[in-house]
Chains A and B, each alone.
Chain A
């Protein structure tokens, strides 16, 4: 079967664009809601405005970058262990 980009409504560029907009609105709402609801942090700093958003984003950025960096050292071909000298057990 041939891959077809327009076969499903979820895969259409227009839908994806709309999903991005909805996502952006939801993201905005979760931050703005803090003005109304208020987050009582445990340690002060985690009660700051949009702390969860910034902390979540930055920790993900850090983890992806660390993984990327480690990948240069750790990544090997899939058959790395199979082409070793001797039986791999």
Chain B
């Protein structure tokens, strides 16, 4: 049955071994498992590799295609370099959970049918929750529970959709569909919850920044990007995604601009970047899908790099807020430089991976003559530079001198950052390395002089805007309300109000009952009391003379007879 071992199983076995081993052996497992997985990913041929009988279905847990291999590849690379970043600092159970979580992501990448996709989907939900909990604080515990509720709810919605599709079409294949009926809408909504689409974008910025400095690196990579892959496989060209994507792009920028917590800024910019991909999938042309896949690949690298840079700062200083840090470039030059490279890449600066991938999406919009989409994406590119490209390095490593003089990154964290920073530049100067693995043939030239100049103008003048508007962007020690206010505050208040109302009604009822009872008791005493010889007994408790009683009976009987004869 298993003529071919699915790549996800190598990583899952690795996760298990992390718990069983110690010391050098565990370190070896941490590096060998992702390497083996990476090797296995490239052994997967195109098409369904094998199927299994499951209940009445033939499930296909392993199906290869270029785009599936591309995502699985970057997931495996992410585990490898994330493992390097984390292995000396993270707790073993965090590493084990992160590896199992990544195994779920790779499983989803190769899932050929909706049932195995769902199983791996839930594997991710479970173990990512554990990674959030590994933050170890009461806030992380609460955020993890909220995160789990959101993802289990998303899973249920996805499952409802899958059941519907299976029952109504009889097919469990992962194949392109459009959201045209209840079943497909449920699948789409279930996936969109994982992309942090509106109206539930808040889960991402709520949970990721509460995890440990190493945990957020893993979290940034898998959940949203597997959802992007699922959208590429299931809903390419679903036009509703264009609007949702554009909303996410702008949401991420606005909330990141308002934010003070370093890692929450980066979390909002995940929503922003995934918005670019969702929008591209909505456009749905070959150029757009290539752009979405390439951008996801590049994004995982530079976003993890940014979270590594931020994580190193949090690890070294224990501080999470822009208002508490600043001036760290003095003693953390490596972390600062790698952070800046990541920031330039996310902004899509020429010579970085962001430029060679994100501009494909803009090109796709232009080719389809989507004027509004094109200009929104251009404005968003400027906005990315504003909220992540400059804001993150500026407030963390420059601005005022906080007086903090922490040590630079430990060697393994530094090495991981250098590798990813190198990849950001490599894919920026040699985009063909990535282009030839994209799902469709690439007919796109990243570097034309006019385009480079346009983006330089766009980005550098955004930089000017940033420094001119700095007084308007003074950091405040605040959080920003989001739609999660509805269930964290409004619903809680309504529930509390209902409980208070019911309690008041209950006490009111018991007061009425008590007073009615005591009134009845008084009446009863008045009529039935024997008086104990002190007072006159009640009317029903008096003793009557036999003669009087007989007289009364005679009168009643006479009356009865009279009535009878009348």
Contact = CB atoms under 8 A, between A and B. Distances in A.
Interface of A: 1-5, 7-8, 10-11, 23, 26-27, 30-31, 33-34, 37-43, 46, 50-57, 59-68, 70-71, 73-78, 80-81, 84-86, 88-89
Contact of A56 (B366, B458, B472): B458
A10 B254 contact: no
A43 B463 CA distance: 25
B497 to A, nearest CB: 10
Nearest to B478: A75
Interface in B326-343: 327, 329-330
B379 A66 contact: no
B330 A7 contact: yes
Given A55-B378, A59-B379, A76 B481 contact: yes
Interface stretch (B60-68, B227-235, B400-408): B400-408
Given A26-B460, A56-B462, A78 B479 contact: yes
Contacts of B371: 43
Nearest to B371: A43
Contact of B489 (A2, A31, A34, A84): A84
Interface in B8-39: none
Nearest to B257: A67
A78 B478 contact: yes
A64 B257 contact: yes
B464 A52 contact: no
A46 B376 CA distance: 13
Contacts of A66: 254
Interface string B302-317: 0000000000000000
Contact of B327 (A11, A30, A34, A77): A11
Given A7-B330, A30-B453, A60-B469, A53 B458 contact: yes
A34 B453 contact: yes
Interface string B452-491: 0111111111111110010011001111111000001100
A58 to B, nearest CB: 8
B493 interface: yes
B464 A27 contact: yes
Given A57-B462, A75-B258, A86-B492, A68 B472 contact: yes
B93 interface: no
A35 to B, nearest CB: 11
A65 B564 CA distance: 99
Contacts of B403: 1-3
B493 A85 contact: yes
A39 B456 CA distance: 12
Given A56-B465, A80-B479, A88-B488, A37 B254 contact: no
6 nearest A-B residue pairs (beta carbon): A52-B457, A60-B465, A59-B379, A56-B458, A67-B257, A42-B366
B526 interface: no
Interface of B: 142, 145-146, 250, 253-254, 257-258, 327, 329-330, 366, 371, 374-375, 378-379, 382-383, 386, 400-405, 449-451, 453-466, 469, 472-473, 476-482, 488-489, 492-493, 496
Contact of B458 (A1, A52, A64, A67): A52
Contacts of B257: 63-64, 67
A63 B476 contact: no
A9 to B, nearest CB: 11
Given A52-B456, A76-B478, A85-B493, 19 more contacts: A1-B403, A42-B366, A46-B375, A55-B378, A56-B460, A57-B461, A59-B378, A60-B465, A63-B257, A64-B257, A64-B472, A65-B472, A71-B480, A77-B478, A78-B477, A78-B479, A81-B479, A84-B489, A86-B496
A1 B476 CA distance: 24
Contacts of A63: 250, 253-254, 257, 379, 383, 386
B254 A56 contact: no
Contacts of A74: 258, 480-482
A37 B453 contact: yes
A64 B479 contact: no
Contacts of A65: 472
